[in-house]
Structure formats: C-alpha cells, structure tokens
Structure 1
Amino acid sequence: MTEVGMRRSSLSTMAFTSVLLFICSIYSCYAQVPLLMWTSDGSNMPHLAQPIAGQTLSGGQLASYMKSALSIAPHNVVLFLQDKLSMEDFTMYGGVFGNKQDSAFSNVESALQMSSSPLMLPALDWSASHSILELFQGELGIPAVHIDPSTLKEIKLNTAQPSLLAVHLPYTAGDQTKELLLKNDAIIGEVLNMFKSQDVPYTAVYTGLKPSRVIEETPVMAGRSVGRSLLQAPSEPSVKPPVVFNDTSGPCILLWADTLLASYKGEEVDLARDIFNGSAEVTAGSVCNETVSRLVLNYKNVLGFQSLQLIFSMRKIFFAVSARNWSVMEQVVLEYDGQRAIFNGSSGIYSPAEYSFHCQNVGNAQSPLLVPYSATDNATEWTLSFTDFQIQGFNVTGNNFSYASDCAGFFTPGIWMGLLTSLLMVLILTYGLHMIMQLRTMDRFDDPKGPAISVPQSE
C-alpha cells in the first residue's frame, strides 16, 4: 500500500472512531438501530451530511438518504439484515473502542476504511428498517434475491444490469453474542469477497431489523424541575404495527405475529420478517366481506420457490347453541410454484366474531392446531410454527385489535397440579381426622394398689 493510501486509511479510521465516540457519549438509543452504508474500493458515493447527534431518522428521511446515495453509488446492492443490532454492540464487541484484533466486526470495519465516503446513521427508527428492502426494490426497480451463504459459489453477477441481494443474519443475546457476531462478520466477508473476485462494484448496507438493546432516556423539559421524582416503571418500547388489509370501507383484516416459521425439507424461514412494512403488495389478492375473510401474504424467492403465498381463510358462522356468530379459521394454505399444502384450523382456531383470536403457539407439530387435510397432501412435507399469533377478520375498527379470545384453556397444567395437590392434602387430613375420631377410652382400669391377682397352680 502506498503512503497516500496508508494515510487515507489512517484518517478514515480516526474519523470513524471520532464519530462513533461522539455519538455514543451524548446519545442513548431508544428503539433505534444503526445503519452502515459503504461502497467497494474504487467506487464513489456522494458525501451526505451526517444527521445531528441525537436525531432519530424516520422512514422518509431514510428514503431521501438512499435516493441521494444511489444517484452515484453502484447499483449492485447487497443488504445485510441482522435480526437485532444496536450501537452498543459496536461498543462492546467492536475493535474501534477496544483491541482491533479482537473485533467482532473486522470485515465491516475494513470495508468502511477502504470506502471513500461511508455513510453511518447511528439512530434509525427501527420500524423504518423493515421497509429498507422495499425501498431499494422501488429505487432499483428489481425484486430482491434472498441468498443463502452456503450458495455463494453458485451466484454469478452481471455488471450490465443492477442486482439486489439480501442476506439475513441471526442474533442471540447472551454469552454467545460475540461468537455469533464473529460468524456474521465472516459471512459478510465472504459476500464482499465474492463481489471482489468477480470484479463487480457494489454498494453494501448493514443494519438491524430490531434493536438488541433498548435504553430509555427521559428528556428534561424546559422549565421543569430536575429534583426528586417518584420512580416509575419504564414504558414498553414501541412494537411493530399489525399487517392491515384495507378494502373500500377501510381496514377489515388484522394480523400480528412475532414469528411465522415455515420449514420445508429441513430448510426454515421466518415469513414474518418482512411483512410489517405497510406495503400493499404484501397483501395483494386478499378479500373480505360480511361472511368471508381471506388474507394472502405474498413472498418471492423463499425456500427455493420463485413465489409463495401464505393464505388464511376465515368464515363467519352462526352457532345456535351459543346464539352468536363465530369467526372460524377454515384453512391455512401454502401455495408455491403451482403446488398447494392445505391445513385445517377449524378445530382449534376460532373466536367470537366480535373478538380477535390470539394464541402463543400455533402450528402442526408441538401445538397441533393446524392439521393436514390428508396424509397424502403436500402439507406433510411442511412444518409451520407461529408464535404470539393474533388475527381478526371481522368487525375490525381502525388498526387496533378487539378483545382477544385466547386459545389457552381455563384449566392450565399449573392449575390442575394445584387442584390435585390440594385434593390429596384434603384426603390425608380427612383420613387423619377420621382416625382420631375413632379413638375410644377404656371403661375399666387395673388398680395398682389392690391385691395381686392370684393364679392357683394345680399339681
């Protein structure tokens, strides 16, 4: 490396360190994620003004940054979307604030140093990070290709046309965090080396879909006393809004889930990862009326299929026994490349029509609320597992769920254990009292002061 290149690398490292130190010293994250963007060595990106320290960027501001960057930057874009990421991860495990050789982000830091003008956004509203994939798809006019790191050798890039690759990276909090971040950084290095080996200029983005750490900072209002105050429980961080399908009269179907895991022949994907972005394309094909609600979630390039649809079919049925209408999940259908896998959910997924349905675990394995229609159906090749699942297909008002009818029964295992233990204790106590009540005192006693009993002996 020439002296000029070494000087530029040194200055870039010092600038990167100064920016992160300044931001972290005066700023605390509240439901925010960082975003790093850089280009390959030799490619240019416009010098974009860094946001004011403490400013949280919204989705609209992010779109403005991305549009300005893509005006010059290469249109071969790779997105590294980590499940969770916060600025504290760089502080604790990065080499900028500690030992460079012990960094969990060595490939990312090296790429930032080699880039001419990297963009670092420390405080992005994490709800906006869910729309980053859709944002790039709209700017580039092409669909995203979700790639598996194990198939990197099979990917051939074409410099004549733009490309959009998405790489999903896991995150686990705890003792294994650094090891997992090291593995993620190795994957990032492999992807960047693929671009370099094929001599393709690229634009890379590294961000998180959720914050890994949430630190609340209570702002001091002007004119407000900063003396003693009562302690109170910290407010819960904002959560992602539900998926909403709107017809001509307004919202008519709501869906929320923490995860929608689908596994096909050993490969698993979370279908809830990219659907909470408010895009109408996600729910294209859905319908709803007074008696039928059909929510369709559309995906592309998932589990090796070009197109995949997850369909929830609900019907409003009147039951004379309860004298009320009920919302019944008739089917959960997977349509993929001309094939169908059908699950019956009417046996356990139902609620009063005025309520929403909620269940902590819905699936066809551990909690068999979804049953394949037949043993020969394609559904036997799939494993579905929905966690913290909530859906409402009728009587929707606004974007909020109605009262939830939970799938958990009243007599939970804990209640049954308590009842049986109490019954056993009552039986033991009853038996003991019965034994005590059966005790009788003797009506005659021997007199120790009287004459001794004489027993004659016969010769």
Structure 2
Amino acid sequence: MTEVGMRRSSLSTMAFTSVLLFICSIYSCYAQVPLLMWTSDGSNMPHLAQPAAGQTVSGGQLASYLKSALSTAPHNVLIFLQDKLSMEDFTMYGGVFGNKQDSAFLNVESALQTSSSPLVLPALDWSASHSILELFQGELGIPAVQIDPSTLKEIKLNTAQPSLLAVHLPYTAGDQTKELLLKNDAIIGEVLDMLKSQDVPYIAVYTGLKPSRVIEETPVMAGHFVGRSLLQAPSESSVKPPLVVNNTAGQPCILLWADTLLAIHSGNQVDLAENIFSGSANVTAGSVCNETLSRLVLNYRNVLNLQSLRLIFSMRKIFFPVSARNWSVMEQVVLEYDGQRAIFNASGGIYSPAEYSFHCQSVSSAQSPLLVPHSATDNANQWTLSFTDFQIQGFSVTGEDFSYASDCAGFFTPGIWMGLLTSLLMVFILTYGLHMIMQLRTMDRFDDPKGPAISVPQSE
C-alpha cells in the first residue's frame, strides 16, 4: 500500500471512529437505526454531507442520498438488512472502544476504511429503512434478488447490467448477540469476497429494519398529562408504530401492537407478530369495525405445518350501568386453521374503558390465564397462546396512535404485597420488643457485701 493509501485509510478510520464516538456521546436514540454505505476499492461516490449531530434522516432525505450516490457509483448494489441494529451495537461489540481485533464488525469496518467515500448515517428513521429496497428498485428499475449465503458460489453477475442483491441477517438480543454479529459479519465478508473475486464493482449498504436498543427521553411539558403513556406518544417520538386497520371510510378504527404473538401447537411454535407490522392490507383482510363491534383478523399461510391460519380478536362495546360508561370488552380470541376452530374466552380480564386502549405485559392461556379455552372438548386445549407487551384498541380511535392505556396490572402487585408484609412484620417485632422492655422490673432489695449477709431462716 502506498503512503497516500495508508494515510487515506488512517484518516478514514479516525473519521469513522470520531463519528461514532461523537454521535454516541451526545445522541439519544429514539426510533432510529444506523445506515452504513460504502463502495468497492477503486470506486467512488460523490461527496455526501454528513447529517448534523442529533439529526434524524427521513425517508425523503435518504432517497436524495441514494440518488446522489447512484449518479456516479457502481450500479451493482448489495443491501445487508439486519432484523435489528443500533449504534450501541457498534460501541459495545465493535472496534470503537477497546481491542479492534476483538470487534464483531471486522469486515464492515475494514470495508469502510478501504472505501474512498463511505457514508455513515447514525440516525435514520427506522420506518425509512423498511423502504430502502423499494427506493433502490425505483432508482435502478430492477427487482431485488434475495440471496442465500449458502449459494454464493453459484452466483454469477453480469457487470454490463445493474444488479440489486439483498441479504437478510438475523439478530438476537442477550448473551448470544456478539456471537451472532460475528456470524453476520462473516457472511458480509463472504459476499464482498465473492464480488471481489469476480471483479465486480459495487456499492454496499448495511442497516437494520428496527432498532435493537431504544433510549427514550420524553420531555415533560406544561399542561400535559404525566402518567403511564405506553404507545400513545406523538407519532414523531413513537417507538413502536402499531398495526392500523381502517374502516370503510378510510379512517383508522383498530390499533394493535405486540412484541410477540406466540402460538404453540403440537410441540411447534411460531411468533405471529414477526411480519404483521409492514402495513400490508392482506394481513388484515376480513377485519371489520363499527360503533359497537370490532373484529381484527390476522391472516397467515404455511405456518406450523398448516396451509392457512387466522388469528381473530373479537371486541364489543358494552354499556355498564354501574360505572355509567361504555367499556371495550374482548369477548373471544379465535384461531381458525384448515377448517377447524380453537376458541379462547377473554372477557374475564381483557377489558378497558371504551375511550382507552388495553395494555398487558403478558397475556397467556397457560399461567394465570387471561385466555380460557371455550370448553373442555374444544380444540383450544391443543393450543397455547402467549402475547407479550400486548396493546390493542378497537374503539374511539382518533389517529394512528394509541389512547391512554388501561393496564392489566393490579394496584397491589407482588412487590407491593412483599413490602407491606415485611413492614408489618418489622412493626410487630418492634412492638413486641417495646412491650418486653416495659415489663422489666428491678429488684427491691440487694445483697450488701460489706454488711451482714442476708439470712434466710429455714423452717423445720
């Protein structure tokens, strides 16, 4: 490597590291993901101005970046889409801090260092990352091809024609995160080596479909209600945009969010919440809503060895004279699959005022169930449903944000009960100790060692 090349690589490394350190030191991540873009060695992109610190890049700005990049950069595009990605992943597992040899992003960092004009967007609106394939398809005029890393050796690219390749990368939070990131980085390295061996110039993009870590800082403004907000925050700071179902007039009428919708049947399980928040109308085909009834239908195909599966939430607005108000009551959760039905009754615990949404951290048909099989002979006994971070609203929907949430957690939680019982036990011990001290009595006569000894006459 020439002295100029070494100097350029060193400056690129320092610039990339400085950007990460600066952004991560002053920037709080909301619903944002990073985006890294670079070109192959010998290819150039036009100089693209880095966004200001703390600025969130919108979908329109991203489209402008991509259009400018493709004006001179190669039209062979690689897109690495990871399920989840945040800037904190680079600071925790990358080479920004500590030993660079222990980095989980060796291939990515090496590619950025060798690229003459890398682009680092630390704060991309994660809703825009979902449309990145569509943006490239629109600019290149060709469909994206999903490639499997196991078939890399079989791929032959024609340098005379543009190509758009997409690689899906998984993500798992917890102890296995670094190990999985290392595997993803190895896959990225294999794909880049394949293009290098075929002498194909390329432009590569690495981003996430949603953030892996969210640090939310919501300012308290005068006149605003301060309390359990959950998902009804304004759309510009909403972390989790819900699934929206519109009525016949095109207005939102049902909202749903769940971190997981786990269904277990015959020892097999599937998370039904993985791909339902993409906005596809086919997912909610068959849903209906009106002033008194809301029926949310989620449609699936080829899951759990079943040709078709429908998960149905049936809600009804009921007026209760005792409270003198309308309530939204979840009557049933129904599974329809291959001509059979499994019915769970939910009216015993899933309810909220009609103006509110319902939220529960855990809704399960197993332990402390809020979902109860309809009958002992029903197919529901063959299923186990478990929803986490579950929130739904079927009435009084005024936009694409949840109303104030009525949570399923009772006031006297296990922690509160433990504190009360411990306090009562300590008060009892203190009261008993004070009572014992107050019962102490001193002797009314003492033996004087200098005087005659006390004699006790003995009677025969």
Normalised by the length of structure 1, the TM-score is 0.66
Q: Shift in Å at residue 288 of structure 1?
A: 1.0
- The gaps in structure 1 that reach 5 residues or longer are 219-235, 440-450
- Equivalent residue, structure 2, for 1:206: 206
Q: Mapping of 1:263-412 within 5 angstroms?
A: 271-272=272-273, 275-276=276-277, 283-297=284-298, 310-319=311-320, 324-333=325-334, 342-373=343-374, 383-412=384-413
CA distance in structure 2 between the aligned counterparts of 1:145 and 1:105, rounded to whole angstroms: 22
- Equivalent residue, structure 2, for 1:167: 169
SS in 2 for 1:169: coil
CA contact (8 A) 2:265 2:304 kept: yes
Q: Which amino acid aligns with 1:101?
A: Q
Q: Which amino acid aligns with 1:361?
A: S
The equivalent position to 1:17 in structure 2, one of 8, 13, 16, is 13
CA distance in structure 1 between the aligned counterparts of 2:378 and 2:202, rounded to whole angstroms: 44
User: Could you say what the CA RMSD is over the residues aligned between the two structures, in angstroms?
Assistant: 5.4
Q: Shift in Å at residue 289 of structure 1?
A: 0.5
- Equivalent residue, structure 1, for 2:103: 103
Residues 375/134 of structure 1: CA separation in 2 closer, same or farther (3 Å cut): farther
Q: Which amino acid aligns with 1:408?
A: A
SS in 2 for 1:23: helix
Q: Shift in Å at residue 177 of structure 1?
A: 5.6
- The gaps in structure 2 that reach 5 residues or longer are 220-235, 441-454
CA distance in structure 1 between the aligned counterparts of 2:4 and 2:306, rounded to whole angstroms: 45
CA distance in structure 2 between the aligned counterparts of 1:374 and 1:67, rounded to whole angstroms: 59
Mean alpha-carbon deviation: is it higher for 290-299 or for 269-278? 269-278
User: How many pairs are equivalent?
Assistant: 418
- Equivalent residue, structure 1, for 2:447: none
Normalised by the length of structure 2, the TM-score is 0.66
Q: Shift in Å at residue 35 of structure 1?
A: 0.8
CA contact (8 A) 2:171 2:180 kept: no
Q: Which amino acid aligns with 1:17?
A: T
Residues 130/430 of structure 1: CA separation in 2 closer, same or farther (3 Å cut): same
SS in 2 for 1:104: coil
Residues 378/257 of structure 1: CA separation in 2 closer, same or farther (3 Å cut): same
SS in 1 for 2:411: coil
Q: Which amino acid aligns with 2:19?
A: I
Q: Shift in Å at residue 393 of structure 1?
A: 0.5
Residues 176/427 of structure 1: CA separation in 2 closer, same or farther (3 Å cut): same
SS in 1 for 2:392: strand
CA contact (8 A) 1:127 1:240 kept: no
CA contact (8 A) 1:349 1:407 kept: yes
CA distance in structure 2 between the aligned counterparts of 1:200 and 1:267, rounded to whole angstroms: 43
- Equivalent residue, structure 1, for 2:50: 52
Q: Which amino acid aligns with 1:94?
A: G
CA distance in structure 2 between the aligned counterparts of 1:193 and 1:372, rounded to whole angstroms: 54
Residues 427/118 of structure 1: CA separation in 2 closer, same or farther (3 Å cut): closer
Q: Which amino acid aligns with 2:109?
A: E
CA distance in structure 2 between the aligned counterparts of 1:272 and 1:302, rounded to whole angstroms: 12
Q: Mapping of 1:229-248 within 5 angstroms?
A: 239-247=239-247, 248=249
CA contact (8 A) 2:38 2:112 kept: yes
Q: Shift in Å at residue 280 of structure 1?
A: 5.3
Residues 122/352 of structure 1: CA separation in 2 closer, same or farther (3 Å cut): closer
- Equivalent residue, structure 2, for 1:63: 63
SS in 2 for 1:20: helix
Mean alpha-carbon deviation: is it higher for 428-437 or for 178-187? 428-437
- Equivalent residue, structure 2, for 1:223: none
Q: Shift in Å at residue 122 of structure 1?
A: 3.0
Q: Shift in Å at residue 376 of structure 1?
A: 7.5
Q: Shift in Å at residue 424 of structure 1?
A: 6.0
Q: Which amino acid aligns with 1:73?
A: H
Q: Which amino acid aligns with 1:210?
A: P
CA contact (8 A) 1:305 1:336 kept: yes
Q: Shift in Å at residue 15 of structure 1?
A: 5.9
- Equivalent residue, structure 2, for 1:120: 120
Q: Mapping of 1:411-430 within 5 angstroms?
A: 411-420=412-421
Deviations 1:423-453 (CA, angstroms, capped at 9, x unpaired): 66787889999999999xxxxxxxxxxx997
Say yes or no: does 1:254 pair with 2:252.
no
